[in-house]
Structure 1
Amino acid sequence: MKKSKKKEDIINTAQNLFYQHGFHAIGIKNILEQAGVATMTMYYHFKSKEELIKEILLQREDKYFQLLEARIHKEKGIEHYIYSLIEAHLEWMEKEGYNGCLFLRAKQEYEGVNEEIASLSKEHKTRLIHKIEQDLTLFGSPKPLSVQLAVVLEGITSMVQILELEQVKASAFALAKNIQV
């Protein structure tokens, strides 16, 4: 089903604003002004700001997992899998993750306020671990390796905020060399 142009404008504008400034710092009025959309249009597509946030997070997760599926190589052995996973995540960080993890930001801002939004972050991270775990079953690898790889990915997400991408990339691949498979 094709989304309307106005709905896409709302989602894209809101995502950019939330990503730059946080969820609580941005109001609906600001989103609508920047998207060039009327209030009625917003509420036609979303019941509330929280519904908009949930939609943004779900779409972002889908886009991230699509990138992983497109870039990860499972057919060339576990070492190649690990490197391609890290490379795919680095690509995501370069294109979409310049300001950290939107899911963790949502968890931080909504924990204790809106558990449905906060839980989306936990569920996203759990799905990532399960995806890696599932992929690793092709190689007969132990479960702890999926968590180790997720920690490497989360470290990349964090360190890209304070270090140059090339330094983070080199460090991530150096860590990958030392992972016991």
Structure 2
Amino acid sequence: MDSEVARERALDAAERLFYQRGVQSVGMDDIRGASGVSLKRLYQLFPAKERLVEAYLERRDVRWRERLAAHVERHEDPERRVLAVFDWLGEWFGEPDFHGCAWINSYGELGATSEPVARQARLHKAAFREYVGGLVTAAGLPDDLADPLFLLAEGAMATAGITRSADPAGHAARAAALLVAACRERTPS
């Protein structure tokens, strides 16, 4: 098995196991068993478990943001795109394999002791905040709306992860719609 195939198999197994069970409860031997990649090869590819966690979060970030953008871009109206973020969150939260936000979960487990994991969580959250800010700007809404919308989405993620319910997305969506409407009222066209 070449290195790229072995890397992808290891990352597929890591993503599935880390996301379902948590990083600390999954050992490299679990990854070996689920991926079919030998321990020797795993450690050649990822010299430490922390490196595997970092690679898992990097890859998941790309996929997560691509899925979000694909959903949002289906809407032509820029203001509707802002609110579509919350629709997508509701779909994500309703997936049978939803186990919360991978970056919040990983940071909660390792953020205090692993700078690479903390960095991945910060990078992901900063990219998501920037994306929301871009949607707000494109909709002609005040820039200061981006942070409250970002926090509504983050709060929905944390709550949905704990409650295992898609309801927080709907609650956050209604609050976001009220904020957007309030901004429209105070901003002349």
TM-score range (shorter-chain normalised) is 0.7 to 0.9
Q: Match of 2:88, as an amino acid?
A: A
Aligned counterparts, 1:63-142, within 5 A: 63-73=63-73, 75-78=76-79, 80-95=80-95, 98-142=98-142
* CA distance, structure 1, for counterparts of residue 97 and residue 87 of structure 2: 14
Alignment partner, residue 46 of structure 1: 46
TM-score, structure 1 normalization = 0.85
CA gap 1:84/1:112 in 2 versus in 1, 3 angstroms: closer
Moved over 6 A (4+): none
1:39-92 Cα deviation digits (max 9, x unpaired): 1221232222111111110111101111122111463131x1222111122233
Residue 33 of structure 1: how far off its partner (Å): 1.6
Counterpart residue identity of residue 17, structure 2: L
- Write the distance in 2 (CA, Å) between the matches of 1:136 and 1:142: 7
Residues 1:19 and 2:19 are matched in the alignment: yes
Q: Return the alpha-carbon distance in structure 1 between the equivalents of residues 102 and 152 of structure 2.
A: 18
CA distance in 2, matches of 1:28, 1:178: 47
Task: Give SS of 1:4's match.
Answer: helix
**Backbone CA RMSD of aligned residues:** 2.3
8 Å CA contact 2:24, 2:109 repeated in 1? yes
Contact 2:78–2:135 (8 Å) recurs in 1: no
- Alignment match, 1:155: 155
CA deviations on 1:101-138 (whole Å, 9 max, x unpaired) are 11112222223322121121112111111111122222
Q: CA deviation at 1:3?
A: 7.5
Number of the residue aligned with 2:186: none
State the percentage of identical aligned residues.
Answer: 22
Q: 1:88 to 1:3 in 2, by over 3 A?
A: farther
Q: Distance in 2 between matches of 1:130 and 1:104?
A: 18
- Distance between the aligned counterparts of 1:143 and 1:126, measured in 2? 16
Shift of 1:96: 8.2
Equivalent residue letter for 2:10: I
With over 3 angstroms needed to count, the CA separation of the structure-2 counterparts of 1:170 and 1:109, relative to structure 1, is closer
- Other-structure match for 1:36: 36
- Aligned partners of 2:50 and 2:116 also within 8 Å: no
Aligned length: 178
**Runs (5+) with no aligned partner, structure 1:** none
C-alpha deviation, 1:38, in angstroms:
0.7
